[in-house]
Amino acid sequence: KQEVTQIPAALSVPEGENLVLNCSFTDSAIYNLQWFRQDPGKGLTSLLLIQSSQREQTSGRLNASLDKSSGRSTLYIAASQPGDSATYLCAVRGNDMRFGAGTRLTVKP
């Protein structure tokens, strides 16, 4: 059974810092890995999708990497802003889709 873990559970940083969020998974037989953002009381917004054959994807200040063999992904956020404050979820897609519990990020002005 696929298990997805996100560390840390919460993170607070001052504005302008670069930061890394971690996601690990136990079964490397995946189709893809997706990073989502969730604002309080809202649905999920897809940030980046990495196919199993890819190593990384970039969108603006966000960069996600995937190391399938070690079961790890990282989401790198450059020059963080208060508007980046949200919960970040990773999800791996194998036979079904499994989510981590998320990292709650607070960026202080």
Partner 1 sequence: NAGVTQTPKFQVLKTGQSMTLQCAQDMNHEYMSWYRQDPGMGLRLIHYSVGAGITDQGEVPNGYNVSRSTTEDFPLRLLSAAPSQTSVYFCASSPGLAQETQYFGPGTRLLVL
Lookup: tokens for 98: 């499994």
Beta strands across the sheet bearing 72-77:
4-7, 19-25, 72-77, 62-67, 56-59
Complex with partner 1: residue 10 or 79, whichever CB lies closer: 10
Complex with partner 1: residue 91 or 107, whichever CB lies closer: 91
Given the rule CB under 8 A, which residues bind partner 1?
4, 31-32, 34, 36, 42-46, 49, 51, 89, 91, 93, 96-102
Residue 32 Cβ, how far from partner 1 at the closest point, in Å?
A: 6
Complex with partner 1: residue 19 or 93, whichever CB lies closer: 93
41 Cβ neighbours under 8 A, 6+ residues apart: none
Position of tokens 């956020």?
77
Residue 53 Cβ, how far from partner 1 at the closest point, in Å?
A: 10
